[in-house]
Structures are given as C-alpha cells and as structure tokens.
Amino acid sequence: MKIKIINVKLYFLLSFISINMIFSQEVYIAGGGTLYDWANLNRFKEENKELIKNPNTERVVFLGNSITEGWSNFDPDFFIKNPFVNRGISGQTTPQMLIRFKPDVVNLIPKAVVILAGINDIAENTGHISIENIAENIISMSEIAKSNKIDVYICSTLPAIDFPWSPGLNPAPKVIQLNSILKKYCEENKITYVDYYSKMADKKGGLKVPDFTSKDDLVHPNLEGYKLMEKIILKILK
C-alpha cells in the first residue's frame, strides 16, 4: 500500500513539474512566433517605433513571409535606396500577417502596402486552411489598408511545384486557384494586382529552375528572381 501511495505522489509530482516546464518555456512555432506571441508582434516593435518618429509620405511597406524577408538579403539596396520597409517574416501565414497588419503596416502611416502572401498557408505551416479563407485573409488586409487611406498592391502568390519542408501537397493548382480569386477581387475593387506568377512559372506551375530558384529550394527566388520582381513592382509603383 505504501508503495502505491508513493507512486501516486510521484506521478502527480512529475506531472506538476512537466506542466510547469511547458509553461515556463517559450515554445516556438511557424512564423517565428511563440505561444505567447503567435503572430510575432515583437519582431519589428523597436524598428517600428523609430519609423513612427520619422514619418515619410512616400513610404511603402512590403508585407509578407520568407520570400519578402529574403529580398533584403539578396538585394538590400532595393530597400535602402527606396523608401521601402521590409516587413516579411519567414514561415508566416496570412492569419499571422492579419494580426500584425496594424502595428507593422497601418501604424507606420505608409503611402502604400505591397502584400505578397499565401504560399505558407498552402504549405499548411500553421495547419490546414481553405484557399477561400486564405484569400479572405488577404482581402481583409486590403480592406484595412483602404480604410486607412493606404494604397494597396496585391501580389500573385509565386508558383511552387512542391515544398521541400512539406512534400506531397501538390501546391501548383492551389496557387493558380488562389491567384484567380485575388485577381478577380482586384479587378472588381479597382486595386492593382501585381502579376509575378505569369513571368516566373514554368509549364508545370513551378518556379522556373534554374532561372529564378534552385532545384533544392523550389519556392524562394534567387537574385535573378528578385531582380525580375523588382522590375515589375517598380514599374507599377511609379
């Protein structure tokens, strides 16, 4: 009987310790956030404070995921030489971007926002989500921007034939479906649709290899890919 009582006490003690360990540690999730900051609101908190102190009527915010974040790594001058602010966070999905849209976009009082999103939703980084709901999240960001008198540029989701980190999801037709919804919304609401897709996709619906990405990546543009994107967006912004 004593042994049973000791075992029960030990069980509850270990359970208590385990629960405390879980809640005392930061659990990291897709998009660079934690269970306490799912949308990674703290990522640009300090940088945003400085930008708010120094308003710029020509400011353009680029909101996105790793494709946008990586842009600054491949071609930092694109952002340095222009009044462009990079607010891309690797791994993020549209629900996360929607949550941080106010602090990372609206509060910076930009002239415009360029939204490039959706591929990580299709990759199910934060769980399954329908194509319609992905589009709705992007449209919601657009509506928030418009209500704050911010010009909106919605970019086509870039082509992808597969995800190295999550293979077998057959993203190519899903990207086409998402882009079709976004393009229709833009046409019906007089919003500029930025078509990267048609210039960067191969015949199978993937990002062209080796032109714009590597065979080991398949999702993120290389320097040539970013240069093409720059040419397209600069022509539109001007």
Residue at 9 is within a domain: no
Q: Is the pLDDT of residue 39 over 80?
A: yes
pLDDT for 119: 98
Q: Could you read off the pLDDT of 124-181 as tens digits, one per residue?
A: 999 999 999 999 999 999 999 999 999 999 999 999 999 999 999 999 999 999 999 9
- The verdict on residue 14 lying in a domain is no
Tokens of 8: 């029960």
Average pLDDT of 34-39?
Answer: 88
Number of domains in the chain: 1
Q: Would residue 30 count as lying in a domain?
A: no
Position 165 scores a pLDDT of 96
Q: What is the DSSP string of 7-53?
A: HHHHHHHHHHHHHHHHHHS--B-TTS-BTTBTT-TTTTHHHHHHHHH
Q: Is residue 1 part of a domain?
A: no
* Domain limits for position 146: 39-237
In a domain, 155, yes or no: yes
d(CA 197, CA 104): 26
Residue 6 lies in a domain: no
* pLDDT (average), residues 40-60: 97
CA distances (Å), origin 47, targets 80, 111, 171: 15, 18, 34
Q: Calculate the average pLDDT of the chain.
A: 91
pTM for this model (two decimals): 0.89
Distance, CA of 93 to CA of 27 (rounded, Å): 18
- 40-55: average pLDDT: 97
pLDDT (mean) for 184-194 = 98
DSSP assigned state of 158 = P
For the cut 80, the answer to whether the pLDDT of residue 24 exceeds it is no
Q: Residue 72 falls within a domain, yes or no?
A: yes
Residue 164: asked if its preceding bond is cis (omega within 30°), the reply is no
Q: Please say if the pLDDT value at position 16 is more than 50.
A: no
Is there a domain that residue 20 lies in? no
Task: CATH number of the domain at 67, please.
Answer: 3.40.50.1110
